[in-house]
Structure 1
């Protein structure tokens, strides 16, 4: 994913900037959600201030404690004991804010124990910064959660058909930002009726479940689990109109991004990254109260690492072609369209391909009536390495996953089902389907 891959980045940067020295403890007042949302949704994006991140983290933990749950507090304590120098200041400031809040609100024995636990963690010596050694992806372990990493997401998309051939697309993405920020985005595209339905929700730590040994992730009612080496189940309600109950099983080996599973993020450190590029789907879809069997094909991405994004956008393409090939094209850029890094990863049958160049022509634009943002809905993408050209068009223009709530600090983006035509070097044409994800452009540009 990328998925809306760097969504949590506006939060992550504040862990790094100015975090080495604790500084004065912030006030234990509640965060101003209006200012958080306004800052996060500016274009180009800006970082939350360090104090705003601290307030948001501490408030999440404080609210859970008030409800009698210590899930978030324990996650913070575990995270705080392992933080190296760049993040120790944020750790200490959150701890001081929690201590102040606990002292102000309660004086019972349990709150005193909680204060003592925080104080003991804050006395943990700070670790020196040391580069991590490279470890190849181990699928027996790495499909699960990586709690020591700052950012992680599990991302599913797919294309479904009912028995009468009615097509649907879906997006499901779980985001995790250490230590206690969790949010999920889910969406369904109803191509026949030109209807796009989505939800963006934040979840408290006590509403979240993970497994370390398998890809089990549950955020409130949005749930997925690993049922085999590369098999998964999805149980996902969407917007009160749809419910996905799907079983997915990989038909190919994982695509290890860039050959070693590492991608150089423009800001922060590398991210581990793999894709399952063709998942056979069987299950049911509840649409407007009617339950129907569905079949189709899906895609899954998983990324984790110490990374963030502040000034970048991206264009991410996933293509599943009828000739059995799949393509993961990932291009970083500035919001004005200036090109940064680009990565080509593909499965040509069972053979992986890795490269560093593709070209984008933007043929049709759509301006969101909801947000006023500019997105592309028709592209021509050229991969010089294979001498192939991809004609890409969205099945409907409005597939914007927009932030609509004051407390929703994640950026707005476009994530949509598309139809693909691959033109081979000999001129022959192959049909396919895909999902495209990109941030808005501050100006319309045709080609790079």
Structure 2
């Protein structure tokens, strides 16, 4: 069809183009393989997460109120409620998203009546996937049957209802959010890393219903939002949120591995919008009286001495209701202690405590 000269010319041109295409293809494949090897194979999960965190920036609000495509994420509230007649209640309400091949939505709720010493708990779980692509509203809106948790920029609504009790609460943050760790990121070492911030004082108004009696309530809540590339089954911890009458808000966190070895002992004291991050040398937590669950046989230290010398704090906390164990074996396959505490000593106020991992035989 072509002359020899023309044929040689086309062969050279075709060979040059083919060589260029082959070089580009090999370069792209090589860079992709290097990227996967360098990031995923060489770096452990915690370093890879920190790399993503550094590239994406630190916590940014209200954008980060919304869900993230993380391995573990939760939105957590605890609160103290009072009626006009002086009755007192406390609650905790958590929504978890656990992401593996699909996302699981889990809810835990407790309500304690401090007049009758009654404690109500419930839990729910669904395997319906979460559409993270639609989570662009700078907030969250979780609905499961007649339970809802909605929020955006410190204006939140909590609704939970069972045959025994219900509550409908409106919450408004009264202080700026507190970023924990380094601009909202804490390292959990071999367990991974976590974004973490709190709204430490949220004013509450709403209603509580126990049986057929509905009562108006007001109160104060603490909100935590935590997410990242970590797994809780490698950890145990003691966690405290304290709202002191003198104006300080205190978070303390003792994190251990399953053998009881310290991973991270940290905390913060916030006053007048200024937060001081605490290291392990800045505070001591000394366990006291233990309570043993008749149902599970797990012993929890429900009384603690807390000392923070730099802030002239020497206080004791005591669980208001000893039997505040939460059996979550039907939803997250774990058991923990979660309840309100009273505060005595150099400071007064309200508080909550969470004790996790005490049922592990290795601990």
For normalisation by structure 2, the TM-score amounts to 0.79
Partner SS, residue 267 of structure 1 = helix
Structure 1: runs of 5+ lacking an equivalent: 1-83, 89-128, 424-429, 444-448
1:132 aligns with 2:52: yes
1:326 aligns with 2:249: yes
Residue 326 of structure 1 and its aligned partner are, at CA, apart by 0.7
1:235 aligns with 2:159: yes
Equivalent residue runs for 1:47-446 within 5 Å: 131-134=51-54, 135-147=57-69, 149-178=70-99, 179-205=102-128, 211-213=135-137, 214-226=139-151, 229-237=153-161, 239-335=162-258, 337-357=260-280, 358-403=283-328, 405=330, 408-423=331-346, 430-441=347-358
Per-residue deviation, residues 367-417 of structure 1 (Å, max 9, x unmatched): 100001010111101124424122100111100001354xx4521000011
Residue 216 of structure 1 and its aligned partner are, at CA, apart by 2.0
- Taking the aligned partners of 1:438 and 1:296, their CA distance within structure 2 comes to 24
Q: Rg bigger for which structure?
A: 2
Q: Is the 8 A contact 1:203 1:220 kept in 2?
A: no
Residue 85 of structure 1 and its aligned partner are, at CA, apart by 8.4
- Taking the aligned partners of 2:326 and 2:271, their CA distance within structure 1 comes to 31
- Taking the aligned partners of 2:309 and 2:140, their CA distance within structure 1 comes to 35
Cα 1:404/1:269, change in 2 over 3 Å: closer
Q: Is the 8 A contact 1:335 1:441 kept in 2?
A: no
Per-residue deviation, residues 230-250 of structure 1 (Å, max 9, x unmatched): 11111112x432211111001
- Taking the aligned partners of 1:217 and 1:328, their CA distance within structure 2 comes to 26
Q: Is the 8 A contact 1:422 1:431 kept in 2?
A: yes
Q: Is the 8 A contact 2:188 2:263 kept in 1?
A: no
- Taking the aligned partners of 2:37 and 2:214, their CA distance within structure 1 comes to 53
Q: Is the 8 A contact 1:207 1:220 kept in 2?
A: no
Q: CA RMSD in A?
A: 2.5
Per-residue deviation, residues 1-46 of structure 1 (Å, max 9, x unmatched): xxxxxxxxxxxxxxxxxxxxxxxxxxxxxxxxxxxxxxxxxxxxxx
Give the strand-richer structure, 1 or 2.
2
Cα 1:324/1:232, change in 2 over 3 Å: same
- Taking the aligned partners of 1:328 and 1:193, their CA distance within structure 2 comes to 29
Q: Is the 8 A contact 1:355 1:385 kept in 2?
A: no
Number of corresponding residues: 309
Residue 364 of structure 1 and its aligned partner are, at CA, apart by 0.4
Residue 259 of structure 1 and its aligned partner are, at CA, apart by 4.5
Q: Is the 8 A contact 2:194 2:229 kept in 1?
A: yes
Partner SS, residue 142 of structure 1 = helix
Say which is worse superposed, 352-361 or 384-393, in terms of deviation.
Answer: 384-393
Residue 302 of structure 1 and its aligned partner are, at CA, apart by 0.3
